[in-house]
């Protein structure tokens, strides 16, 4: 994934998660995180012929965008644990949080 592709994917994911989280109250977000934990946070697809490391970094970009979207809507500290957890997992996938 080139840096330009990374920035483009991040921007798309950020807008998408911002739209998703914007309409949710705290309970709805908790349910979403509980039910989507495996599908959206802990696992990621690796397409046929795709380098698993590239897929992992792409997943890290998605998680960073998810964390930034959540924080931008709720403000710093409102969901600090969720944001920190997402950023931690993103780093584990090789995405450097700036």
Of 86, 93, 36, 29, which is closest to residue 60 (Cα–Cα)? 93
User: What average pLDDT is seen over the chain?
Assistant: 88
- C-alpha 92/C-alpha 60 separation (Å) is 8
What band does 68 get if pLDDT is binned at 50, 70 and 90?
A: very high
Q: Give residue-wise pLDDT tens across range 12-57.
A: 999 999 999 998 988 998 899 889 888 888 888 888 998 999 889 9
Say which residue the tokens 């698993």 belong to.
52
Rounded mean pLDDT of 79-89? 85
Rounded mean pLDDT of 45-70? 91
Q: Which two tokens stand for residue 26?
A: 């705290």
Q: Which two tokens stand for residue 93?
A: 């996938």
pTM of the predicted structure, to 2 decimals: 0.86
């Amino acid at each position: 994934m080139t840096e330009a592709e990374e920035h483009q994917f991040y921007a798309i994911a950020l807008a998408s998660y911002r739209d998703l989280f914007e309409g949710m109250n705290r309970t709805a977000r908790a349910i979403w995180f509980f039910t989507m934990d495996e599908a959206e946070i802990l696992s990621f697809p690796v397409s046929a012929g795709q380098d698993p490391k590239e897929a992992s970094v792409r997943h890290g970009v998605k998680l960073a965008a998810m964390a930034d979207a959540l924080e931008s809507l709720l403000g710093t500290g409102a969901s600090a644990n969720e944001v920190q957890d997402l950023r931690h997992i993103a780093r584990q996938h090789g995405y450097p949080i700036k």
